[in-house]
Each structure stands twice: as C-alpha cells, then as structure tokens.
Homo-oligomer: A and B are copies of this chain.
Amino acid sequence: MSDGKKYIYDFSEGDASMRILLGGKGANLAQMWKIGLPVPPGFIITTEVCHKYWEDKATLRKIWTDIESAIARVEKLTDKEFGGKKNPLLVSVRSGAPVSMPGMMDTILNLGLNDETVAALAEASNDERFAYDSYRRFIQMFSDVVLEVEHDKFEEALKKAKESAGVSEDHQLSAEALKKLVAEYKNIVGATGKEFPTDPWVQLELAIDAVFRSWNTPRAITYRKINNIPGDYGTAVNVVSMVYGNLGNNCGTGVCFTRSPSTGENKLFGEYLINAQGEDVVAGIRTPVPISSLAQEMPEVYEEFCRIAKLLEDHYKDSQDIEFTVERGKLYILQTRNGKRTANAAVNIAVDMVDEGLISPQTAVTRVTPEQVEQLLHPQVDPKVKYESLAKGLPASPGAAVGKVVFDADEASECGEKGEKIILVRPETTPDDIHGLFAAQGVLTSHGGMTSHAAVVARGLGKPCVSGAETIKINLKAETFTVGGITVKKGDYLTLNGNTGDVVLGEMPLVAPEFTEKFRRLLEMADKESKLEVWANGDTPDDAKRARAFGAKGIGLCRTEHMFMAPERLPVMQEMVIASTTEDRIVQLNKLQQMQEEDFLGIFEAMDGLPVTVRLLDPPLHEFLPKVPELEKILKDLDPDCDMAKKIRKEISRAIELHEFNPMLGFRGCRLGIIYPEIYEMQIKAIFNAACGLKKRGLNPVPDIMIPLVSTKEEMKRLRAMVEKIAEETFVRENCRVEYLVGTMVELPRACMVADQLAEYAQFFSFGTNDLTQTTFGFSRDDAEGKFLANYVELGILPTNPFAVLDRDGVGELMKIAVKGGKATSPQIQLGICGEHGGEPSSVAFCHHIGLTYVSCSPFRVPVARLSAAHAALGLLQ
C-alpha cells in the first residue's frame, strides 16, 4: 500500500510483545524464531490488514506485491518454489487473533497443491500415495473452509472409494485410488458451480480472504461477546511453510514433555515415530518409541532437541509440551505450549522450579489450582484405568472409595471395627447413621443433594460420597439394590468416585493421596501471598489436631451441640431439656458442665497458642428429644406406672410443647441463651474453667466465645455481659487470666443490616453463610435440595448451588453491608466466615475481596482454602 506502513512481518521481524499487531500465534512463532528455534519459515499478515479489509474488501489486492515478496523470502529460506514443478513450496494458512479463539476458524494445510505440484511432491517424497493423500485432504479442507462446499459430500465419496477398494481405513487406499478420489472431489466442487482454483496464488488469496471473513461470522461475534473480547481486535493471518516427517527414514515426528506430566520428574518424557506424520502418532496404528531412543537413532537431532527443550523451559519458565518434526534430518519445532499435568506433578514441578531458581515462590503458587489441591487430598480412582459406571449420582464429597456394600449403619459400624472396608448404601442418611458413616470408606445415597446430610457429614469426615443416585432402587429388607437390570447384594464390591459421581461395580485400583514435603512447602509459599488466614471448623480434639496438621491457624467454629449427642451424654441432656424448673435444669447442667470441660481441655490443648472459637448451644432443644411416635411406641409396652413410663410421658409432653413448624427459624441460637440463661452460663463456665486449667499448666489457650443467631444489639449486649461476668469470676477464683474475645455468628439478614449496632458489643463477626444463605433466599437446605434446587441450577435460574458457591449478589451484598457496618463502629473488628463456603475457592476469593480476616472450613479443605486465598490475593481468583 502507498501509506508506507508495514503490513507483512516475517517471523524474523516480530516477537512475543507484538501480540496485538501479529496475533497470539504469530507473535509466538516470531518469538520462537527470535530465540533461535528451528521454526519453519513463514510470515504474518497483521491485524491492521484485517481492519482495512473490513473497510474495503480490495485491501488484499493493494498489499499483494508485499505478500508476493514475503512468499519469495520463504522460497529462498526453504529453497522451494511456490507452485514450483520440482520442489514445490506448500504452506499452511491460519488465523491468529490477539486472544485465542479456539475453533473459530479451521486451518488450511498443504496449500499450493495442484495437478502439477502434486506430481512434483510425489517425486520429491518418493511417495505417490502420500502426495495424493495430501492433495485430496487439501481439496476437501479448502472447499469446506473457503468455497463453503458441504463437507458431507466429500466424506461420502471417500466412503465409496474405500468400499470399492475393499478396505476399511483411509491409509489403506492406494495412490491410484487416491488419484481417482481427487478427480471425484473435483467433480463435487464443479457440480456446485464453483471452481476449484488450481493457481497456488489464487488459492492463497482466497484462503487469506476467508480468514479475514471469518472474523465477523455470527459464531465468532457471539464467542467474543461471551468472552468479553473486543470486536476491533481483528485477526492476523499466518502463512507457514509445510514440513513433513514422512519423507523417508531420515524423517520423523513426535511429541515430548520437558518433565513428567504424571510425577513432575525433571526428565524428558515423550515419544516419536520415524518416517511418519503427526496424525500417525495420534492414531496409534504404529507404536511410537520413547524419546530416549532418538539418542541412538538420530543422535545429533536428539542433542539438538534436548538443547531446545531446555531453552524453551528457560524461556517460558514452565514445563513444555513440544511438537516436533524431523524433515530429512532437520529438526523443526512446530508448536510448544505449557504441558498439562496431574495435580501431583503440578506441585512437584512448581516447587522444583523454585529450587532451580527458574521461578519465584509467588509464580510457583500460581502454577497449582485449588481444584488440583482437592485431588491431592483424597484417594483417586487410578486415572489410567477405564471403567464402566453402573449409575451416576452427584459428586457430593471428593475422592474414591472401594468396599463391600452394607445397607445398615449398625452393621457398617461393626464391620468397620473389624477392619473391613465397606460402602454404606442408604436411601438417605440421618444423624442416627453417623457411626455407620464414620466406619465406612464411602457412602452412596439414592436421594439427597450436594448438601444432604450424607454429603455434609461425608465432606466433614473427608470421606467420598455419591448422593442422589436416583436410578438406584434400594430394597432395605432384601439388602439389595437394583439398577439397569443389575442387582447388587450385600457384600458385593463397589467403587465410588466422589469426584465424578460414578458408581462402579467391583474393586477399582485407587491411587493414594500425597501430602508430600513439596506440597507442604507450596502451601507455605501460598500463605506468604495470602491476605486471609485459613482456620478450620472442628468439634473434637481429633478435628483440632488434623486442622493444625493441615495448617489451620485457628478453630473458626467449634460446635458444642455435637458434644451432647454422645450416647452417655444424651440422657443427661434429655433430662435437662425436660426439666420443668430452672433448679432441675441446673442439676443436669452441672453434670453436663463436667463433660464440656473435658471437651474443651482437649481442643484447647491441641490448638495451644491458637484461637478456638466456641459457638454456644445453637439447635432447638427438641432436637435432643426422640420423636414423639418413637416415644409412643416404647410407652405402649410399659407398665404405665413405672418410672420409665413417667419419664417418657414427660418427654412426649415436652416434645409437643417444643414442637416447631419451622425449626430453622425457631427457638434456637442465642434465643435459648436469653430465655434459659443457665444453659449458656454452664457452657461459659466450662470454657473458662478449662482455659484456666491449661493456663496454669503453662499452656496458652485462646478461647473466643461465639454467640449464634444474633439479630439484635440487645442480645449481643446481654450475652457479652454474661460472658464477661463469668470470665471475671473464674479468673478471680482461679487466680489466672486468659485472653479471649466475644463475638457473634452473622447468619441472619438482620444481623448484617444492624452490624454497626452489633459491633458495639461484638469483638468479631463470623459469617455463618449456610444459615445466611437459607434466610436470604428463603431456601430451607433440608427441603430445597431435594425438591427444586437441582432443577433451578439445571434450568439456569441459578448459576450454581448457592450452598456450595457463595451467592455474591444476595448473600455477598449482605456480607458487604455487615463488613462496612462492623468496621464503621469498630475498625479493628475481626471478620471471618465459618460456613461451608469457607473451603470453596470462588467463595474464598470473595472473602478476600471484601476484606475478611480469615476463612474457616472443614479440616480436609484447609489446603484448598490456603491456595485459594493466595490465588485471590494474586488476582487469579476473582
């Protein structure tokens, strides 16, 4: 063109920084050229030409002489001639936008072939079959992409050719058959009234025009809209000389990872075929040999390849997945990209590269995703094994489990004690099944969602769970289940894949989880980047130890109600619940206080020096009583005057009195503490007694008291005063002081709205996003998941299950109001989250962005949360 601008760049003229002008692919090819890699010669038509093309379709003509010059330079470099009758130059023509838009436009290979050049190619390759096969493919590809001839017609012709030749595979067609097919293909094009261009220059012009045209197809426009890609970027066009690995025994082609994609080991890991082309490696007809063999077969090429592999790793600072071709003894690098890898390999490569000085710890942290961390924490079905699944449910708790089918929780518990590996199969589980869940390797339910009882408990225990496998019909009496005509009996082996929801008959091989030294180091690097601390939820000393081992910096939620559910304690708790006077209640509470003290001693000791956030009693009291029909059943067989019968009648009457229509919104949380202050007083005494006991033994307990379900300032004010009074009394009596905070679980919309008021008395907020999600949406988790929530996600009414991924528009906005209110009153207020969202990457990122102090999650998810927090701080997770 006459404007003096440069519209064509040879590879030697660009680099990776010129992505906008040259497109991603072009800039990258130029960069490889720049660092001295043997990339096949070629050139790039810039994105500016694309802009001009859309203003004026004659643009291409105007720069045609520049294109001719560029081709001439490629001819010179390759010593081939475009359209030449001896050693013809063939090229590929590809699009290349500044941002990758995969699948937007097909590639045209082998451009430059016609009846004359194909003969030359046959001669040069000494392989007529190869030449005509290339020709056939070119016609098909060009006609489809450029001439817009229906693809099916070519496929049909190819099918017929194979039938008449009596062969089943494309590559079995002889040169003669392919020649006939080429003629047939030309007829197909001719029949459409279009003309297949034989002049390579015309082919080139039409191909480039087609690439530009493709920028504004409806498909491309939609793709850009969805992915927020500016429409004025335009696409560049890459014209690259073809190289072939199948022109003789001094040729070959292969793929190679610079480090093991499976273990991360720092060693070339690849394979190749002599005298073959790329698709032969993929097709699996010939068996490729390991890259190491290349050292014998082509020692110089091997040495060169090793040098290049090292160069690419050094350049891209990451393990590479390289495609290469050797044409007549000359090595060409066709592509390099960051290599895909297993979770384990990702961790090892990242940490190794830090040790090698190749990348910074910060970069290492970005090289592993939270999802990969999740994989590392559970046994997995060996990824090399292929299986057929019997049924599919929801992937409710990750990891894989193998065991014998058991249908009863008691039996599961017995088998577990004997050391048998079992899978508990139930229509759904209840708190009564907890011992069975505990003993099982994994659990399968036919009903219930991602947050059903089974799912929540399994995730808490770190056990795999497949829930809601609705196609399974369980017959509890017969102790069998049937699905798709197959009946599975008690004792049959079953494998659960909690990552995918697959239920597999038989024992699949599992791969053990690895919490390696390198993994530990990676997480420490992550912690250095994070603004958020990661704490864990845990109710027992075992939970606390595990949390600490996984790197938790505190306990963010220690639920006290589980402590009363133990078989020896429940009767005392029940006596407390049915007590008709405060005095009677206090007698029972005194017994419970002893037990609570022991619990707290264990937990505080395990978390020595770190905060333990104890939530005072939360569930409604009726949850501790048996159900009325059960009680009535027992009563029927008793002498009505015996003490037992009297007690049961009292329980029934109290259960009826305490019955609630919506227990979720009922007489629970701090409402209990306000109306029956003696209950909370008991718990607070137990906490401070335990803390002072340890303090005197030289330990450093840090108890934080969390008041649940607060909705008004007055609740917080009264209960904080209660805590302070008892703490002070204990400190004076024990002659010993411990540091503590009093705060609240923010789990009601009103708490968010009046957070400024609550912060007058609360020293910390911990967002209870499980309940907050329930009340914000008006979704009862117990009901919604079974009834409509799955449908809602399927229909696109909700993007995800808001109990799994925090709902930012609703729940998140409320949290922001609470954060703002809390900080306005008390700028130093400690802010955390202790709902299940605390271990989910996107939710952790949200917590980071709104400025929380910590997230607290199940101990098993602590590593996931640690990495997520780092990724959020590094801007990788929004």
Contacting pair B711 A665 (CB below 8 A) = no
Selected contact of A664 from candidates B662, B748, B749, CB within 8 Å: B662
- A748 and B749 alpha carbons, distance in the complex (Å): 10
Partner of A809, one of B718, B753, B777: B753
Give residues 743-785 of A contacting B (CB, 8 Å). 747-750, 753-754, 757, 771, 774-780, 782-784
List CB contacts (< 8 Å) of A347-396 with chain B. none
Instruction: Give the CA-CA distance A784 to B672 in the complex, in Å.
Output: 12
Tell me whether A647 is interfacial, beta carbon within 8 Å. Answer: no
**Would A661 and B782 count as touching, CB distance under 8 A?**
yes
Contact A712 B753 (CB under 8 A): no
With an 8 A cutoff between CB atoms, is A283 at the interface?
no
Question: How far apart are the CA atoms of A784 and B795 in the complex, in Å?
Answer: 35
Residues of B within 8 Å of A791, CB to CB, are 674-675
A284 at the A/B interface (Cβ < 8 Å)?
Answer: no
Residues of B within 8 A of A792 (CB): 671, 674
Closest chain B residue to A779, Cβ basis: B665
In this assembly, does A813 line the interface, its C-beta being within 8 Å of a C-beta of chain B?
Answer: yes
Question: A715 within 8 Å of B by Cβ?
Answer: yes
A666 at the interface (CB under 8 A from B): yes
- In the complex the two chains form, is A797's CB within 8 Å of B715's CB? yes
Q: Is the CB of A797 within 8 A of B674?
A: yes
Supposing A748-B778, A782-B662 touch, asked if A675 and B788 sit within 8 A by C-beta, the answer is yes
Does B780 contact A666, Cβ atoms closer than 8 Å? yes
Establish whether residues A796 and B665, one from each chain, have CB atoms under 8 Å apart when the complex forms: no
Given A749-B810, A792-B674, verify A778-B783 contact (CB < 8 Å). Answer: no
- A268 nearest CB across to chain B (Å): 51
* Cβ A814 vs Cβ B753 within 8 A: yes
Q: Shortest distance in angstroms between A123's beta carbon and chain B's nearest beta carbon?
A: 64
Partner of A667, one of B753, B783, B809, B813: B783
Q: Is A787 an interface position by the 8 A CB rule?
A: yes
A665 to B665, CA, bound (A): 9
When A675-B788, A774-B665 are in contact, do A660 and B780 touch as well, CB less than 8 Å? yes
Name the distance in Å between A597's Cβ and chain B's nearest Cβ. 28
Flag whether A205 is at the interface (Cβ < 8 A).
no
Task: Determine if A723 is an interface residue (Cβ-Cβ < 8 Å).
Answer: no
Is the CB of A197 closer than 8 A to any CB of chain B?
no
Say if the beta carbon of A663 comes within 8 Å of chain B.
yes
A327 within 8 A of B: no
Output the least CB separation between A858 and chain B (Å).
23
Once the chains are docked, how many angstroms separate the CA of A186 from the CA of B779? 77
Q: Does A709 contact B (CB under 8 A)?
A: yes
Alpha-carbon gap, A782 to B661, bound state (A): 7
* A711: contacting residue among B669, B777, B795, CB under 8 A: B777
- Choose one: B666, B777, B778; the contact of A787 (CB below 8 Å): B666
**Which among A665, A718, A784, A814 has the greatest number of chain B C-beta atoms within 10 A?**
A665
The docked-state distance in angstroms from the alpha carbon of A797 to that of B757 is: 13
A336 to chain B, nearest CB (A): 43
Q: Tell me, yes or no, whether A807 is within 8 Å of chain B by CB.
A: yes
Separation of A798 and B797 alpha carbons in the complex (Å)? 37
- A778 in contact with B667 given A674-B792, A715-B797, A791-B674 (CB within 8 Å): no
Q: How distant is the Cα of A720 from the Cα of B404 in the complex, in angstroms?
A: 51
Is A714's beta carbon under 8 Å from chain B? yes
For the complex, give the distance between the alpha carbons of A807 and B749 in Å: 13
Which B residues are in CB contact (< 8 Å) with A782? Answer: 660-662
Query: Could you list 5 further interchain pairs (A-B, Cβ under 8 angstroms) beyond the known A714-B796, A749-B810, A750-B777?
Result: A660-B782, A711-B810, A714-B795, A749-B814, A750-B776
What are 26 A-B residue pairs whose CB atoms fall within 8 Å in the complex? A660-B780, A660-B787, A661-B663, A661-B783, A662-B662, A662-B783, A663-B780, A665-B784, A666-B783, A667-B787, A669-B778, A674-B795, A711-B778, A712-B797, A714-B795, A714-B797, A747-B778, A748-B778, A749-B775, A749-B776, A750-B777, A750-B810, A753-B776, A757-B809, A775-B775, A775-B778
Nearest 9 pairs of A and B residues by beta carbon: A750-B810, A665-B780, A662-B780, A749-B749, A667-B787, A714-B797, A666-B783, A661-B782, A662-B664
